[in-house]
Structure 1
Amino acid sequence: MKRNQLKILAIVLVAATSLAFTLKPVEDAAAKEEIQELILKSYVNGAFNGLDADAMRKGFHEDFAIYSPKGEAISKYPIKVWADGVAKRKANNYNAADPKNKWDHNFASVDVTGNAAQVKIELHNQGKHVYTDYLSLLKFESGWRIVAKVYHQH
């Protein structure tokens, strides 16, 4: 009797473990898709192709900043200043048909762990690789938001 109970327990544990490993990739895939959609709308099209400052404000957390080195210090460029600049640029005779205003992108990696994510995205303009960006995201009750960016300009 005891041996049968151990066999049943072993089977249940194997089944539970298998189910856990099966569900995780599905959850990760859904989160990755959500994140990529957010980045396309708020970042690629918001900050670059469409100059949509409202989409930026929705997709970026209000405490977001672009971090870059300035000597041995860190320079911070807040989302408010960036989004306001995008809105101003669009208002000043922005021509979406101009090839220099068309940015292509490549998601080099999207890594999700629970409510945190890191995205490496490459931006190209007129066939040239211009930026490699690393975007950090967090998932809030309201959904995913971009919280920080570091980058390399090629």
Structure 2
Amino acid sequence: MKKYILLITTALIGFTAFAQSDIKEEMAIKRVIESAYLDGVQNIGDMAKIDAGFHTDFRMQVLEENGRLSNVSLAQFKQRVKSNMVNGVLPRRVGKHVSVDYLSIDVTDNAASVKMDYILDGKSVYIDYMQLYKFADGWKIVNKIYHTVTD
């Protein structure tokens, strides 16, 4: 009987440690997305935050209307941000910030996939899918695809 109690206790402790590790990684991933993607790309236009949270080999893959797939490099992605700053889109005014609702975060060791609802003016605009890898200096966004929400 003591063996079974010890076995169950050990299993519960291991499960708790594993769950806490996942929660810690999910929080770290959310911080990267909120800093690099929301602040850096969508709300402020902060290049330092973009550089800190996106891997240099980042790609956004876009499904074109003709069914072709195009790739946007990090340099092109940053150029879009710079254009939004020049055109007065960024930084966004208070009350006009983009936010996200995390729909799922799947972490397996040093790889993660995040599905989130991109919200602007209280409306779902995109469903974003981001993939991240964990490097020596932390989590980095390496890929993005998205679905445009239509009413």
Classify the TM-score, shorter chain.
Answer: 0.7 to 0.9
The C-alpha deviation readout for 1:77-98, integer Å capped at 9, x for no partner, is 0111111321343244445327
Compare the two structures and name the one with the higher helix fraction: 1
Out of 61, 77, 90, the position equivalent to 2:85 is 90
Counterpart of 1:25 in structure 2 is 19
CA contact (8 A) 2:54 2:141 kept: yes
Counterpart of 1:3 in structure 2 is none
Q: What SS does the corresponding residue of 2:131 show, helix, strand or coil? A: strand
Out of 39, 42, 49, the position equivalent to 2:43 is 49
Is the counterpart of residue 62 in structure 1 residue 56 in structure 2? yes
Q: Residue 140 of structure 1: CA displacement?
A: 0.7
The 1:8/1:47 distance shift into structure 2, 3 A limit, reads same
**Structure 1: 5+ residue runs without aligned partners?**
1-6
* Matched ranges for 1:1-154 at <5 A: 13-70=7-64, 71-93=66-88, 94=90, 96-97=92-93, 101-154=96-149
Distance of 2:91 and 2:111 partners within structure 1: 36
- Matched residue pairs, number? 147
The C-alpha deviation readout for 1:20-62, integer Å capped at 9, x for no partner, is 2121000000000010011000001111011112211210111
Q: What SS does the corresponding residue of 2:106 show, helix, strand or coil? A: strand
CA contact (8 A) 2:36 2:52 kept: yes
Q: What SS does the corresponding residue of 1:112 show, helix, strand or coil? A: strand
State the Cα RMSD in Å. 2.2
Kindly provide the amino acid, as one letter, of the partner of residue 136 in structure 1.
Q
**Structure 2: 5+ residue runs without aligned partners?**
none
Task: Tell me which structure has the larger Cα radius of gyration.
Answer: 1
CA contact (8 A) 2:128 2:145 kept: yes
Distance of 1:24 and 1:65 partners within structure 2: 31
Distance of 2:54 and 2:75 partners within structure 1: 10
